[in-house]
Structure formats: structure tokens, C-alpha cells
Amino acid sequence: MLDEQRLKELHDSYIAAGGGRPLEELLAGKDKLKGAEAQRLRGAFSSYGLHPADCKQPLLVVELMTGRVQGLRSQFEVLEKEHGKEGAVRLWYDYRDSPNKLPIIDILQIGAWTDMSRSNSSSVPPKYFEALRYLLDLGISPEGTDVAGYTALQHSLTGTPLLCDLKWSQMLLDASADPIAAINHRNRYGGTSAHEIMQSFRRPGEQELRVKCLTFLLEHGANVDIPDGDGSTARRSAIHTAAFSNLIAAADIKQSTENACAFCRRGGVAGKGKEKDGAVPKEDGEIRASLRCGRCKSRMYCSAVCQKLDWAAHKKGCVPAPAATSS
């Protein structure tokens, strides 16, 4: 049982307005946070466990958490009759439940994690893959965000590393409108998946799995130099863990020696990519960095998306190239 002093500490950390806005105001917003406000929301977010009885639509939440495709199909058909397919898809995409305002795919994912934890498995059970495929085929984007600005992909890679299944993460990434933007999505703390990977290790075996997740991120275009809300980068955090530093150093070498994209490091054999994100493929299907910064003329990119995402960091050192002189 918590004593009065501990209750006061929790109140001051997560509810009281000292050091920023109160929790109620943070929960109602969508703006980026830093400092005490970021810690206040992070603490409140991580302290809540999903319970169907606390939700607006407990039956839908139960179907999601148990991965029952038939139950989901039946509920969708009822919505479709009343709102049409497009309207029903929009209702499910916009749907948020629990105090953490979880999107529908996040709730399904939590159900998969719960099942994996109970069975001590390292793979998402097939029924959840089937349910995810059903939702994605309906046209429900996996890019909806919760109250802390996380997407399902970001949670899948960083939320519970011991329950991470990269096949599941790949499925979410493939369904994203722009894979590079999705892999570098910033939550309300300003953090990307690469930032979240660097969090402290709490259980045996967690570091090894985080290394696998970071490898996945780097292979798919993650940038480790994006600052979070407090100005810290994943690269800076990685110096405390040799395995992380070594992975990033290897990616840097590939980027410099293979003329890869300055933002996502794809190019030649440096990384993997897909044409639909705007990257320019070679004839053999590989991604190449063929777009040049119009100002400094030296920084190369594989797509306009990467150039735009890199500008916040690149502009500090972008020096106009000398004007060409006529002979």
C-alpha cells in the first residue's frame, strides 16, 4: 500500500502543474512535449493497463484482444449496413479507446502481446496475423496515433522488446503510406523508434532483442540523428551500449563508401526500400541516391521524402556551393 509521501510524489510528477501543464491538459492535446511535461505524460501512459471493462466498446475490444476475425467481421458488417464501407472504415480508423486513446490496431497488438506473454512465445499467434490482415485489407491504416503520439509500428518495435515479432512489424511497415516517414515517425516526446530502442534494459535477453530491432530499423531507413523534444539523438544515446554503437558505425561506413542516401542510408547494398515511397530504383530494383541537395550540391538522397526529412539537421551545415565561373 502506498504511503502518503509516495502518493504526493506521484501527484507532483504526473498531475500537479509544477514544471508544466497538468496531466488533464496534456491528455487533451497533440502537441510535441519535452522536459517535465514529457515525463508526466510518459509516466501516466505507461502506468495504465488495457481493460475491456474500462472501454467505450468493450465487446469490440474483446474481439480485438482475442484476435477473433469472425467477431470483427460481424461487427464491421453491422457498421457497413448503416454507414457504407467507406464510412465504416473511417469510423474504425478514427476509433480510440481507453484513457490512452488507443487506435484499433494497437488494441489488437496488445491482445497479441498478452497471448504471447501467457504462452511464453516469441512469435505472434497466427490468429492475430489473420485479424491484422483483415483490418489492413479493409483499408484501415496502421498509422493512427495514441495519446502519446505512438503508431502501432513504433510500439511493435520498442514497446515490449521481449515480445517483438519482426514479421508483424514488417507487415505494419508494408501497409504504411510512406515507409521512410513511418520508420522515422516522431511521437509526442519527439522520439523516433530509434530513440525508444535506447531505453534502459530491464530483463535478461532484452539487449539482444533490441539489437535485432535496431538492425531492422537501420535496414529500413531509420535515421539516428533526429533530435527528440529535449534535443537528444539516438546516436548520442547509443554511446552507452557498444552493440548499438557498432551497428550505427557500420551503417555510417556503408553510407559513406557506397554513396547511399544521406538520410536513410539506402543505396547500393546499404539498405532495403520500396518504389512506392518515392525512391529512385536502379534497373535491378535496388535503391540509389540520385537526388542532390540544390544548395550545397554535395548531399545525396534517394527520394524527395528523405531530403525533406533531413533538412532540419542538414540546414545547419548546408553551405551554398560556389557559383560556377564562366571561362
Q: What is the mean pLDDT of the chain?
A: 85
Average pLDDT over residues 52-56: 88
302 pLDDT band, cuts 50/70/90, is confident
Length of the chain: 327
Q: Which of 271, 207, 216 is nearest to 240 (CA)?
A: 207
What are the angstrom distances between the C-alpha of 260 and each of 263, 270, 292, 300?
9, 7, 12, 7
Tens digits of per-residue pLDDT, 159-178?
775 678 999 999 999 999 99
Nearest to 207 by CA among 242, 183, 239, 235: 242
- The confidence band for 316, taking pLDDT boundaries of 50, 70 and 90, is confident
Tell me the average pLDDT across 74-87.
97
Q: Which is more confidently placed, 106 or 322? A: 106
Cell of 43: 509516466
| pLDDT 10s digits, 6-39 | 445 555 554 454 578 888 888 888 899 888 888 8
Task: Give pLDDT, residue 205.
Answer: 76
* Per-residue model confidence (pLDDT) at position 12: 56
CATH architecture, domain 27-35+43-256: Alpha Horseshoe (1.25)
Domain locations along the chain: 27-35+43-256, 261-267+289-318
Q: Which residues contact residue 261 at a Cβ distance below 8 angstroms, ignoring those fewer than 6 apart?
A: 221, 255, 267, 271, 279, 287, 289, 300, 301, 302, 303, 306
Please give the pLDDT value at position 11: 52
What's the pLDDT band for 144 if we cut at 50, 70, 90?
very high
pLDDT higher than 70, residue 204: yes
- Report pLDDT for 273: 41
pTM to 2 decimal places: 0.82
